[in-house]
A and B are shown apart, each in its own frame.
Chain A
Amino acid sequence: MAEIGFSQVKKRYGGTQVIHGIDMQISDGEFIVIVGPSGCGKSTLLRMVAGLEAISEGEISIGGQVVNDLEPKDRNIALVFQNYALYPHMSVYDNMAYGLKIAKLSRPEIEERVQQAAKMLELAHLLERKPRQLSGGQRQRVAMGRAIVRDPGTFLFDEPLSNLDAKLRVQMRLEIKQLQRSLGTTSLYVTHDQVEAMTLADRLIVMNAGVAEQIDTPMAIYDRPASRFVAGFIGSPAMNFLAGRVGEGGRELRLEQGMPLRSGSLNLGNLAGQPVTVGVRPEHLQVVAEEDAEMHLQVRLVETLGADSLAHGHLVPAEEQPNGTPEDILTLRLPGVARIAEGDRLPLRAAEESLHLFDRESGWRLADV
């Protein structure tokens, strides 16, 4: 059994704090993905679980046991590295068997475990090869195999797919997911790729600058991002952000460029008069008849992707703006091949419940409308 518990986990390098107190409980068998931009502390967090980085403050427990002072080998974990970290002078078989040999397992037992893992990963015909004789995808599988043979309580993955080309990445992503499903092993997976994060995770941890900004299921994070950062990081193309302000009395929301949104129907009394950032996903903007429009998009560039089309441009202000006011950039996503051309002026409306309001200063979520 391997529940993992984090309690006020912090990490400092000298005077710099890189992780600011993580609290979380992971249940047995869960697939957790830690996602965030480079330098956000996600790998550090994983390496603290693995025992490769010391924990400056707080506690990490695995299977109910506090592991702060345990050696990596005593934590019942396996780690798959970004660059695979295969021993270059050992055969595939020896790479997988090395940890078992050190653990003094019997020879037949090692043989059985390695063969079983190799079969599962379709590596059986490669066992005698050296890592340099393998393709990137095969090396990746060996790295996975090395983790599987240990039969650990927890799998740790440190950006395992980022060295593969796009097609292989999709394929390996599916295999990892299936493998985890069938083994039922608790997994902690670090990536900067939000598609990987969304597709793999039971629950996601979105990290930014050493803080876990949101911990939830992928769809919950997509639907109700906890902060402007999370909203911008999850979802592709990224969410549009427009400067807005809640009207007096909280009955209406108005963009700083002039247009009223959702006028009259709102109940934001606690936010009355507050400056906000209004977020709306490109796929939630709809082209509507002129009289229903909440805003207008001046199209500058159209990207046709086949399944859908993206129109990039800027928000048309309701009234004359002083020179030097930054334009609000807007992206619109339409299904299929849209008949839009550069220079078009499109009347738009945001779908119901698709506007996210964030505090202009702190970026934390205020409301959905």
Chain B
Amino acid sequence: MIEHRPWLVWLSHGVLLLGVLIVAFPIWIAFVASTHAASDLASGVTPLLPGGYLFENYARALGSGHEASGAVPVSLMMWNSLVMALAIAIGKIAISLLSAYAIVYFRFPFRMLCFWTIFVTLMLPVEVRILPTFEVVADLGLLNSYAGLSVPLIASATATFLFRQFFLTVPDELVEAARIDGAGPLRFFKDVLLPLSRTNIAALFVILFIYGWNQYLWPLLITTDESFYTIVMGIQRMVTVADAEPQWPLIMATTMLAMIPPVFVVVAMQRLFVKGLVETEK
């Protein structure tokens, strides 16, 4: 910076540290709570330092689960979340790549109609049309299934739009060179376009994985069978029961476990994550 005033730098660091603390505070409390025995928390205030029940609590959460809320082991819920998140992320990327490819590299009747049909979905978040969507899924017999959890969320105008934008920046000469080399449409897609899209696919994957993992309303609606509960909605089930018999350490251990995979993805793939975030909002 331009000024040479050390106190300004110290102030900046101070504010930033404070920000980091505020951001981290709830997580610390959750972590601390997850390491105490239930009786420690039943009365009085949450302690500020970790207790000695870390392994016990997490082992119990992962293993047997919270009996009062139907005893679904957290490991099963995490598995369901993982399946759902992967299915949504991979599914969205796959169908968006294909449809963006069709729209950018082909001319065919009703092309613009297809384009707009897809893009209308950009305007219709699942929350505003939950009831009729639920009915459709129920009619198709997809309640309590992995397909029901993921397929309705797979159509995404955002991803299609992103790939369309990217494809438009790919030089025309590459298609021409490929045609002269004798590559047909599918060969060009596989040999040239897909490898060129690698970074975009990875960046989008990070964003979509988090999107899928964090789904809440949708799994809440279409799963009544505990074996299909995802972890984010499972916490809510525990909390509802917790009013009667608060199992805070267990709930907080579950909360921590619900956060670890997406947070790990964000931190480990920070560069791709930032890229994905900026690109999807363009």
Q: Which residues of A contact B (CB under 8 A)?
A: 50-52, 71-73, 77-79, 81-90, 98-99, 102-103, 146
Contact = CB atoms under 8 A, between A and B. Distances in A.
Interface string B156-176: 000000000000000101101
A334 to B, nearest CB: 44
A98 B187 CA distance: 11
Nearest to B174: A85
A98 B191 contact: yes
Given A73-B179, A98-B181, A81 B173 contact: yes
Given A85-B176, A87-B192, A90-B195, 18 more contacts: A50-B176, A50-B180, A51-B180, A71-B179, A73-B179, A73-B182, A77-B180, A79-B177, A81-B177, A83-B173, A84-B173, A85-B173, A85-B177, A87-B177, A98-B181, A98-B183, A98-B191, A102-B183
B71 interface: no
Interface residues of B, number: 17
Given A83-B173, A85-B171, A99 B196 contact: no
Interface of B: 171, 173-174, 176-183, 187, 191-192, 195-196, 198
15 contacts: A52-B176, A71-B179, A71-B182, A73-B182, A81-B173, A81-B177, A82-B173, A83-B173, A84-B173, A85-B174, A87-B174, A99-B182, A102-B181, A103-B182, A146-B177
Given A87-B192, A89-B196, A102 B187 contact: yes
Helix, strand, loop or mixed for chain B's interface?
helix
B31 to A, nearest CB: 43
Contacts of A79: 176-177, 180
A72 B173 CA distance: 13
Contacts of A99: 180-182
Contacts of A51: 179-180
A266 to B, nearest CB: 53
Contacts of B187: 102
A291 B176 CA distance: 63
Nearest to A143: B177
A157 to B, nearest CB: 13
A82 B176 CA distance: 12
Contact of A89 (B173, B176, B182, B195): B195
